[in-house]
Amino acid sequence: MKSITTVLFLLTLPLLSCGQTSKYLGELELRTYKIGDKVDIKKFKKYANLAFPDHLDGWTMSNSDKLPKKYAGLPISIWQNKKDSGIALTLIDNIILKITISNIKDDEKDRITKMVSEKFGFEGKVKSYEESHPLQAWITYWNLVTWETNEAIFQIGNSDMRMPTAPIPKSMLWNLVYSDLVLESKILADYKK
């Protein structure tokens, strides 16, 4: 009986440890773009001298022009794809640092969510909340899914601003922000050399 218990314990040990560790994403391609790749900026238009945040949550009109200190003095800017305005890349010169995609439909969102969960090795953390507007009756309803480790941050979210009595929209468009801190650190270090 003792040997059966030992065998069962040893069989369950790897299963317990597998579910609690995350994996590094590695190179993740979104609509043919990867962090660290060079792009032909003739196919893009310059949007602004700022960098998208690591999270969709907390990015407001009052802080969108704040460039993090680690980018000080570097030619960081946002470029928008001329053919697909839903794709915006944060570049240092012509090298991709962050990828942001907007107006994602549910089916693409579901494919991306599955792929990212498999690559990270865990499901994203879901956060839904309401944000009331102080001077009007409108409410913004936020839905966010976040995968975050020390190496990478990936977030998909949407927001729906409507009156509390208005019906919930039948279909929503999603936005994503992808930042790989390992690759970004390497790109910044190489660029500074």
Give the domain extent around 108.
25-192
Residue by residue, pLDDT tens for the chain (193 residues) are 444 333 333 333 333 334 446 788 778 999 999 999 999 999 999 987 676 667 777 666 566 666 677 787 889 888 999 999 999 999 999 999 999 999 999 999 999 999 999 999 999 999 999 989 888 899 989 999 999 999 999 999 998 999 989 998 988 999 999 999 999 999 999 999 8
Q: Kindly state whether residue 18 falls inside one of the protein's structural domains.
A: no
Q: Kindly state whether residue 4 falls inside one of the protein's structural domains.
A: no
Report the alpha-carbon distance of residue 43 to residue 101 in Å, rounded: 16
Q: Kindly state whether residue 106 falls inside one of the protein's structural domains.
A: yes
Q: Give per-residue pLDDT as tens, 140-149.
A: 899 999 999 9
User: How many domains are there within the chain?
Assistant: 1
Q: Kindly state whether residue 1 falls inside one of the protein's structural domains.
A: no
At 65 the pLDDT is 64
Model confidence, pTM: 0.82
Q: Kindly state whether residue 43 falls inside one of the protein's structural domains.
A: yes
104: amino acid identity, one letter: I
Q: Kindly state whether residue 88 falls inside one of the protein's structural domains.
A: yes
Q: For residues 112 and 18, is the Cβ–Cβ distance under 8 A? A: no
Q: Kindly state whether residue 3 falls inside one of the protein's structural domains.
A: no
Give the residue from 113, 111, 164, 114 showing the smallest Cα distance to 136.
164
At 64 the pLDDT is 60
CA dihedral 109, 114, 118, 121 (to 10 degrees): 80
